Amino acid sequence: MSTATTPSAGTLTARLAAVAAERPDHVAVICGDDRRTYGVLSDRSLGIAAVLSRHGVTSGTRVGLLGRDSPLLVELLYACAHIGAVLVPVSARFTVPEVEHVLDDSTADLLVVQEESADLANRLTTAATVLPAGEFDSVDVGVELPPVAAEPDTPVVQLYTSGTTGSPKGVVLAHRSFFAVADALEAAGEDWVGFRPEDTTLPGVPCWHVGGVWWVTQTLNAGATLVLMPAISAADMLGLIRRHRVTYTCAPPALLSMLLDHAEGIQGAFSSLRKVVYGAAPIAESLLLRCLDEMGCEFAQIYGLTETGNTVACLPPSAHRPGSLVPGAAGRPYPGFAVKVVDAEGREVPGGATGELCVRTPARMIEYWRRPEATAKTLRDGWIHTGDVGHVDEHGYIHLSDRLNDTIIRAGENIYPAEIERALHESPAVADAAVIGIPDDRWGEAVLAFVVAADGHRPTSRELRRFLTDRLADFKIPTRFVLTDGVPRNSIGKVLRRELREPYWLGRERNVN
């Protein structure tokens, strides 16, 4: 077996090595007909690390991966960790400009491209060396690698997320981000979102999303079996749950609703499940009660951001039982984590008052890559300023009411209005545009674009969607377009989104759905 890192406790590489030594023949990853045992996963990740080294990848190098969820994504995560490199997952659903932004901003030296994304990769203009994933089909696992010291604070993954500027920023996460929650719960003797060695788990979020990466690491840290879907689909997810007797899964509420619809009439469709974790949006009480009745397992809600290393708070299974429901709550901080609410000047407000939610977590990001000013704005004195507006009730439960940064969340995916507006402004038919999120009973929120037509033009919704197809991922393209005479702006030209949103959210308890 090759050697690479000299890891301390609390690193992904150390944990994988320990599990591989304890149960080398236990299945670690399943994707379609492809399987990896822990022994094979450990060996291949070391062999892939050797290939990366031959291509000039060293400590601190950013390595992009363009494609869908697969065993290779898992292997590359650990391969990068072995040599101190940082994995930058890139969604296969991104368009050329979106991929190029991630590659340019991350300064990736190498881009690994899976077969299904080859056509997309051929259209890229990038300084990164492009390496087909087939290079890793067969690797030498007997090569000795120079040891690289890894610590819990060593960067391991960089994920892209946006703020109000609509410019995606690289959130740098360390090994510790993938141990903090489990360590905190174990120390407190709690099992809110615990993973067990006997589990077979299935993430209902993609692995270029922080929730997907976190789910992968939690499963493998526990020595359990991970089932991956190349693309998120309710029908596929239901089939995998039944085929592999999945015990533990996660999904946004919209996906849970579709799962129930697909399972209608199928006896024992969810009989293997012991727990479901959901997040990205509050769950409607009617949907929760239906899930509890038809799935017959425990539920837990998680709340967090990419910047917080995924989850910082949890609504545990005990709060999801009939008679114990906490309507509208996003959860309580994990043991040892903390939350406070501040006003516009950053002063903590009295208990129960509404303001910006700030959280303190040992899983928090290291930084926004090469963005010191943005980092300083979000991470202050150890507190992550979330941009979410809400309050904490007398029992310590977090309640969300709005978002400072105007982010739209559709089926668990973050969508940033400014990014869509910039794309619309590229159209010669558009003089001005503003984008907001409006309530959608199935997806949580839908994207609505207000468009001011340029002189001599009157673009149709079909024409605008066609224009955006090559510029934005499909889930970011507005579902509705409204032609208007003008977009409301303040004295410095900022879009008054709250004014646009108000008629659509009138009469609702929350301005998020």
What pLDDT digit, counting tens, does each position of 159-207 carry? 998 644 457 899 999 999 999 999 999 999 999 999 999 999 999 999 9
What pLDDT, on the 0 to 100 scale, is given for residue 4? 52
C-alpha dist (Å) from residue 451 to 191, 362, 417, 468, 481: 49, 43, 13, 13, 7
Percent of the chain residues topping a pLDDT of 90? 76
What pLDDT, on the 0 to 100 scale, is given for residue 493? 64
Which of the four pLDDT bands, split at 50, 70 and 90, describes residue 299? very high
* Inter-residue contact 10 to 186 (CB < 8 Å): no
3-state secondary structure of 80: helix
Give the separation between CA 127 and CA 372, rounded to whole angstroms.
Answer: 24
At what angle are helices 253-263 and 285-295 packed, to 10 degrees?
Answer: 50
Give which of 303, 295, 260 is closest to 412, Cα–Cα. Answer: 303
Domains along the sequence of the chain with CATH: 1-24+34-151 (3.40.50.980), 410-505 (3.30.300.30)
What pLDDT, on the 0 to 100 scale, is given for residue 125? 94
> What does the pLDDT average to over 103-115?
97
Least confident of 276-280, 491-495, 504-508: 491-495
For the chain, what percentages of helix, strand and coil (3-state, to nearest 5) are there?
Answer: 30, 30, 40
Give which of 199, 212, 276, 263 is closest to 234, Cα–Cα. Answer: 263
Give the separation between CA 19 and CA 223, rounded to whole angstroms.
Answer: 6
Task: Give pLDDT tens digits for 329-383.
Answer: 999 999 999 999 999 899 999 988 999 999 999 999 999 999 999 999 999 999 9
Give the separation between CA 447 and CA 493, rounded to whole angstroms.
Answer: 22
CB atoms within 10 A of CB 210: 24
Over 80: is that where the pLDDT of 511 sits? Answer: no
What pLDDT, on the 0 to 100 scale, is given for residue 1? 39
What pLDDT, on the 0 to 100 scale, is given for residue 508? 77
Q: Where does 179-332 have alpha helices with state H?
A: 180-188, 210-221, 234-244, 253-263, 285-295
> What does the pLDDT average to over 69-93?
96
Give the separation between CA 204 and CA 278, rounded to whole angstroms.
Answer: 9
Burial 389-426 (b: 16+ CB within 10 A, else e): bbbbeeeebbbbebbbbbbbbbbbbbbbbbbbbbbbee
Least confident of 95-109, 145-159, 492-506: 492-506
* Inter-residue contact 59 to 34 (CB < 8 Å): no
Which of the four pLDDT bands, split at 50, 70 and 90, describes residue 507? confident
According to DSSP, the residues that pair with 279 across neighbouring strands are 302
Over 90: is that where the pLDDT of 282 sits? Answer: no
Q: E strands along 281-364, which residues?
A: 298-305, 310-315, 329-333, 338-342, 355-360
Up-side HSE of residue 469: CA atoms within 13 Å toward CB? Answer: 7
What pLDDT, on the 0 to 100 scale, is given for residue 284? 74
Task: Give pLDDT tens digits for 222-261.
Answer: 999 999 999 999 999 999 999 999 999 999 888 898 999 9
* Inter-residue contact 190 to 316 (CB < 8 Å): yes
Backbone angles phi, psi at 262, to 5 degrees: -70, -30
* Inter-residue contact 327 to 315 (CB < 8 Å): no
What pLDDT, on the 0 to 100 scale, is given for residue 102? 96
Assigned token pair, 20? 């591989």
Assigned token pair, 55? 């291509």
What pTM, to 2 d.p., does this model score?
0.87
Measured torsion, CA atoms of residues 117, 203, 227, 15, in degrees rounded to the nearest 10:
100
> What does the pLDDT average to over 138-143?
81
Give the separation between CA 302 and CA 192, rounded to whole angstroms.
Answer: 10
Give the separation between CA 65 and CA 124, rounded to whole angstroms.
Answer: 14
Give the separation between CA 8 and CA 105, rounded to whole angstroms.
Answer: 30
Mean pLDDT (the chain) is 91
DSSP structural state of residue 348: B
Which of the four pLDDT bands, split at 50, 70 and 90, describes residue 265? confident
